[in-house]
Structure 1
Amino acid sequence: MRILLLEDEFSLRISIKEFLEDINYEVDDYADGLDAYDAIYSKSYDLLLLDVNVPSMNGFELLQSVRKDNNKTPAIFLTSMTDIENFNEGYKKGCCDYIRKPFELLELELRVKQAILRFYLDDSEQIMISETIFYDMLKGKLMLSGKEIVLRKIEKDILELLLKNKNSVVSMQMFQEHIWGDYVEPATIRVQVNNLKQKLPDDIIQNRRGMGYIIER
């Protein structure tokens, strides 16, 4: 799971980043709204953590702009604001939650998990791939008949992208944009997908020649 963090207070930003990385999230951190805005269009994120009062483009403006481009990535505002009108403004711009500063990092963890569960997993931490295969999106664990299948980071990223687009073909371009963030040779993608396929039953990940890969369930 990759998170974008926008927070201009240095010590708080580093504390949040280190905490989230310690519990196995990937975090890209920014202090400037425009830098964060550019990153959203160059990479793929599973969650946006946005301070409201930041330089160049505030959190409200940033989220409003990406929502206009039909980016539905869940977003949580981090703010010291207490005025109900400000909260209302944030929800109108498309956030799913607020965290009031100062906050405990445990609260942040809980809110992040809930936002991900609501948006991606329909309140269930485990995604059923087949009758014997489950993937825990939050813990990044793949279980086959009750035993964990150890995955490398790139294999987890590929599997999660396929599961988020279950029953739809994931194209080479989507793999490039969402996982590598830049152009890579299709042969490299095929090698990594095949490495993952070897750890799963034959029919789980299917190739659609000339189109990409799909998990159908």
Structure 2
Amino acid sequence: MKVFLLEDDFALNKIISNSLKNRGFFVDNCFDGYKAVETVMNNSYDFFILDLNVIGFDGHKILEIIREENKQTPVIIMSAQIDMENIKKSYALGCNYYIKKPFDFEELFLRIQYHVQKQNKTDKFLTTLGNSYSFDLLEQTLYYKEQSIDLSVKEKLLMSLLVQNLNSITSIEMIHEYVWDSKEMEAVSMRSLIHKIKKKLKSGMIINFRGEGYKLINHEEY
């Protein structure tokens, strides 16, 4: 899963970022509101973690920008500001949870787990794909008969996106934005990545819709 982190305290930013990376997340971290605006407007994420008091645009403004385009993706606000005015404003603007500093990282991670479960409407993170395959969205791990299959960084991102859009077309634009951060790429690069994933799944599980995108099929539902 791709997480965006805004925290101006360098040490805390690194602790959170490294802890999430060690748990299999892909993290883009910013230290100020100026860079944060540019980053969130040009990339796609599965989760946002925002500090309130940062240089430039504060966490509330970043939250407003996120909610203008994205109503569903979970957002956690973390702040040393514990007054009710800031807490009420954060929820009014659309945050999912307000965590007060200082906090234990495990508390933050439990909140992330809860909202990921809620978003995917499941009691577990393991998504059954059929043909003895499954994918753990939280750990970014593909399994075949409970045996994990090695995936590269981009393969993990692509599988995560396909699983989140299971049985629906994942557009070429979505893949470009999510896997390549909308950066310039050759069309052959995407085809090559899709081909590598197909080789790790049973034939027919990924369907190509020419000019549109790709669909990961859960055969157990058909």
Unaligned ranges ≥5, structure 1 = none
Equivalence for 2:139: 139
Q: Could you say what secondary structure the match of 1:129 adopts? A: strand
CA distance in 2: counterparts of 1:42 and 1:139, whole angstroms:
25
Equivalence for 1:10: 10
CA distance in 2: counterparts of 1:124 and 1:216, whole angstroms:
20
Equivalence for 2:200: 199
Unaligned ranges ≥5, structure 2 = none
In the TM superposition, residue 86 of structure 1 has moved relative to its aligned partner by 2.1
* 1:40-77 superposed Cα distances (whole Å, 9 cap, x missing partner): 12222111110011111111111112212235321100
In the TM superposition, residue 197 of structure 1 has moved relative to its aligned partner by 0.4
CA distance in 1: counterparts of 2:54 and 2:34, whole angstroms:
10
In the TM superposition, residue 208 of structure 1 has moved relative to its aligned partner by 1.1
State whether residues 77 and 95 of structure 2, in contact with CA within 8 Å, keep that contact through their aligned partners in structure 1.
yes
Equivalence for 2:74: 74
* 1:174-212 superposed Cα distances (whole Å, 9 cap, x missing partner): 211111011312211011111110111112111112221
Q: Segments of 4+ in structure 1 off by > 6 A?
A: none
* 1:116-172 superposed Cα distances (whole Å, 9 cap, x missing partner): 222235332111111522111111221222222222221111111111122221222
CA distance in 2: counterparts of 1:92 and 1:123, whole angstroms:
28
Q: Which amino acid aligns with 2:207?
A: Q
In the TM superposition, residue 214 of structure 1 has moved relative to its aligned partner by 0.4
* 1:103-127 superposed Cα distances (whole Å, 9 cap, x missing partner): 1122222222222222235332111
Q: Could you say what secondary structure the match of 2:77 adopts? A: strand
Moved more, 80-89 or 193-202: 80-89
Coordinate RMSD, CA, aligned: 1.6
Corresponding position: 1:190 with 2:155: no
Equivalence for 1:109: 109
State whether residues 4 and 45 of structure 2, in contact with CA within 8 Å, keep that contact through their aligned partners in structure 1.
yes
Equivalence for 1:210: 211
CA distance in 2: counterparts of 1:140 and 1:10, whole angstroms:
27
CA distance in 2: counterparts of 1:71 and 1:214, whole angstroms:
24
**Structure 1 residues 29-108: aligned runs within 5 Å:** 29-70=29-70, 72-108=72-108
State whether residues 121 and 127 of structure 1, in contact with CA within 8 Å, keep that contact through their aligned partners in structure 2.
no
The total of aligned residue pairs comes to 217
